[in-house]
């Protein structure tokens, strides 16, 4: 009897415990599902709020630009419209002279460029915001008793990452939309205003400046006027698009791996990056405090003389006083105007990144023109370029495993659609890099090396890489000295303008620009030709480095690029900006577009 009772009690206990356990599991599952649902819901909510914030800013900027557009609108025909066309056709030296002589007023010129810039923006979406008080500044210039400087009354445009007191600098994200700059304007802006120039618009960028495209969730995607299906380049893409469209006569960007030269090449204008600390970078926001790969401000214009005048206007005591870190070296006009024959090194290809057919052809074309003009051209092979780009430059650019971008800039942000794959690659864990690199090495060794390169894991490691960089610079300079070369002619990039969706897949093409940021050499690009039908045909048989993933992306995006501009790159030794500009001017003269 007792055994039967115990058995019944045991069964009852088991039934009860089964129900209790089931309840606990059900409760735990419900709680877990609830927590997960709340987390997902919160993420969705935050994403929606970020999108709303971005769209609100975009709409505010659009309205401000429309207000400017309405305020300067004139009839299509008539004396004012004809005068504006005349103003827009002038080169910077011509415009500056007419403003200084009093033939034109600063207000008159400003309104001509405001009208043109907003019209170009309607087509290309290249502007972010108008700069407040531009009209007041122009009026003050006109009220001056005498010319204020070399750029008296000249309107100029600036990239979105240049700080202007009272204006927001977004870098293509929303988290700083409520924090306008509360300190002084960027030093470059201050110096130019002391020279009588008038800042009037800011231009679009890729999100965090980390792309050779030009798109972000705040201001949207910028188009290339030459071919709207292609990007104007990055990160100074809005600036290049505006200058190409005639909406600015002098623009300012920044360059850490080609961010001035690439957009200039993509759009068919001239772009120039000086040696670091030749002009001031104070007041420019940067995506990351990279060590060893030198970021500098840069200039963009339709012609080389305009770049030279812009440099001359900047290299003055005002800049040297505002930023004592800048080398106090005025512009050497006599070097820029020198007529002596030059001895120039050249190369049409880097072994680690063979360019598509039009790019090498452009260098050959410029080389032959320079030789006919009496200059000496000497073949030059950059030493160990793959090691310089992958093992030094790339490692220093990604030294923090992308943490700066993923935490400071992109945390809780909507990542631009054209940047997502690139960000994933830059933030990939080291163990995964090694696995992917190991699997790809037998098939695509260059891709494997680029992905699996060891990250910088300590201060000691960083110091070793910086020391390695210094040794490489010495090696590079020694090779130049052996051939008595102090100027170089080479491809501007590995390809012509790409499509936005390929910007993150073709970064290998930037080897031609990134190399000279690593070396800290001044460099500029000049358009000399366009992609031809023959270039497009030769692309069918082009295999690049080994027909790997990088090559295939370059080939895919370059196919059908007939008519796109193609530039060459001119390079000089550090602090020889005037020599570099002189070579650029010679190329421009001998190979007119």
Q: Tell me the catalytic residues.
A: 159, 235, 259
- Is 258 marked as binding a ligand? yes
- Rounded to whole angstroms, how far apart are CA atoms 296 and 277? 7
- Rounded to whole angstroms, how far apart are CA atoms 462 and 467? 9
- Is 209 marked as binding a ligand? yes
Helix (H, G, I), strand (E, B) or coil at 311: helix
- Is 235 marked as binding a ligand? yes
Q: How many CB atoms lie within 10 A of CB 145?
A: 5
- Rounded to whole angstroms, how far apart are CA atoms 252 and 291? 23
- Is 256 marked as binding a ligand? yes
What are the phi and psi torsion angles at 344 (to 5°)? -125, 130
Helix (H, G, I), strand (E, B) or coil at 299: strand
Q: Are the beta carbons of 172 and 218 closer than 8 angstroms?
A: yes
What are the phi and psi torsion angles at 43 (to 5°)? -65, -45
Burial of 143 (0-12, 13-18, 19+ CB in 10 A): exposed
The packing angle between helices 106-124 and 79-88, to 10°, is: 80
Q: Are the beta carbons of 234 and 500 closer than 8 angstroms?
A: no
- Rounded to whole angstroms, how far apart are CA atoms 569 and 490? 5
Whether the upstream peptide bond of residue 270 has omega within 30° of 0, thus cis, is no
Q: Are the beta carbons of 91 and 301 closer than 8 angstroms?
A: no
Quick one: tokens of 412?
């809780």
Q: Are the beta carbons of 200 and 130 closer than 8 angstroms?
A: yes
Strands 127-130 and 198-203: antiparallel
- Is 257 marked as binding a ligand? yes
How far is CA 126 from each of CA 201, 222, 343, 554, 582, rounded to the nearest angstrom? 10, 5, 39, 25, 30
- Rounded to whole angstroms, how far apart are CA atoms 21 and 8? 20
Return the half-sphere exposure (C-beta side, CA atoms, 13 A cut-off) of residue 262: 38
With a CB cutoff of 8 Å and minimum separation 6, the contacts of 201 are 114, 117, 127, 128, 129, 130, 131, 157, 158, 242, 247, 248
How far is CA 408 from each of CA 124, 283, 288, 531, rounded to the nearest angstrom? 29, 18, 9, 40
- Rounded to whole angstroms, how far apart are CA atoms 477 and 498? 32
Task: Report CA 163 to chain centroid distance, whole Å.
Answer: 17
- Is 519 marked as binding a ligand? no
Query: Where is the binding site, in residues?
Result: 209, 235, 256-259
Query: Where is the binding site for substrate, in residues?
Result: 209, 235, 256-259
């Amino acid at each position: 009897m007792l055994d039967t009772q115990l058995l019944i009690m045991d069964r009852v206990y088991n039934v009860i415990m089964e129900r209790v356990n089931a309840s606990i599991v059900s409760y735990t599952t419900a709680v877990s599902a609830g927590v997960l649902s709340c987390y997902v819901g919160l993420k969705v909510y935050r994403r929606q709020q970020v999108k709303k914030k971005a769209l609100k800013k975009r709409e505010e900027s659009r309205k401000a630009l429309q207000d400017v557009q309405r305020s300067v609108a004139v009839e299509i025909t008539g004396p004012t419209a004809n005068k504006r066309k005349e103003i827009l056709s002038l080169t910077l030296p011509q415009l500056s002279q007419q403003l200084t002589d009093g033939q034109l007023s600063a207000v008159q010129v400003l309104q001509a460029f405001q009208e043109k810039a907003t019209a170009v923006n309607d087509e290309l979406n290249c502007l972010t915001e108008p700069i407040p008080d531009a009209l007041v500044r122009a009026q003050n210039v006109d009220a001056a008793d005498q010319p204020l400087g070399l750029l008296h009354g000249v309107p100029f445009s600036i990239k979105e990452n240049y700080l202007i007191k009272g204006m927001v600098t977004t870098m293509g994200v929303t988290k700083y939309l409520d924090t306008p700059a509360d300190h002084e304007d960027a030093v470059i802006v201050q110096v130019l205003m002391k020279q009588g120039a008038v800042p009037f618009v800011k231009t679009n960028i890729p999100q965090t400046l980390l792309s050779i495209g030009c798109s972000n969730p705040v201001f949207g995607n910028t188009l290339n006027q030459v071919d709207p299906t292609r990007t104007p380049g990055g990160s100074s893409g809005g600036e290049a698009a505006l200058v190409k469209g005639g909406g600015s006569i002098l623009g300012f960007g920044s360059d850490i791996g080609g961010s001035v030269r690439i957009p200039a090449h993509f759009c068919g204008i001239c772009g120039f990056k000086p040696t670091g600390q030749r002009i001031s970078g104070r007041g420019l926001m940067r995506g990351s405090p990279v060590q060893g790969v030198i970021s500098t401000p840069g200039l963009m214009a339709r012609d080389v003389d305009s770049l030279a005048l812009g440099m001359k206007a900047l290299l003055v005591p005002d800049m040297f006083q505002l930023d004592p870190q800048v080398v106090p070296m005025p512009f050497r006009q006599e070097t820029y105007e020198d007529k002596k024959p030059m001895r120039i090194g050249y190369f049409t290809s880097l072994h680690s990144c063979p360019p598509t057919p039009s790019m090498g052809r452009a260098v050959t074309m410029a080389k032959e023109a320079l030789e006919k003009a009496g200059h000496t051209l000497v073949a030059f092979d950059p030493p160990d370029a793959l090691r310089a780009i992958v093992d030094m430059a790339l490692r220093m650019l990604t030294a923090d495993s992308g943490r700066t971008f993923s935490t400071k800039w992109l945390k809780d942000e909507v990542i631009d659609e054209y940047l997502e794959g690139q960000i994933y690659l830059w933030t990939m864990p080291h163990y995964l890099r090694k696995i992917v690199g190991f699997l790809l090495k037998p098939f695509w060794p260059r891709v494997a090396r680029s992905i699996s390169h060891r990250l910088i894991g300590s201060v000691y490691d960083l110091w070793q890489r910086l020391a390695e960089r210094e040794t490489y610079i010495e090696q590079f300079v020694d090779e130049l000295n052996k051939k008595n070369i102090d100027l170089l002619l080479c491809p501007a990039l590995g390809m012509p303008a790409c499509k936005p969706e390929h910007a993150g897949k073709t970064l290998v093409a930037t080897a031609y620009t990134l190399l000279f940021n690593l070396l800290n050499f001044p460099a500029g690009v000049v358009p000399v030709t366009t992609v031809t039908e023959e270039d497009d045909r030769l692309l069918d048989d082009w295999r690049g480095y080994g027909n790997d993933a990088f090559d295939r992306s370059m080939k895919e995006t370059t196919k059908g690029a007939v008519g796109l501009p193609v530039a060459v790159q001119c390079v000089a030794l550090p602090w020889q900006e005037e020599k570099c500009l002189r070579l650029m001017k010679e190329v421009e003269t001998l190979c007119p577009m």
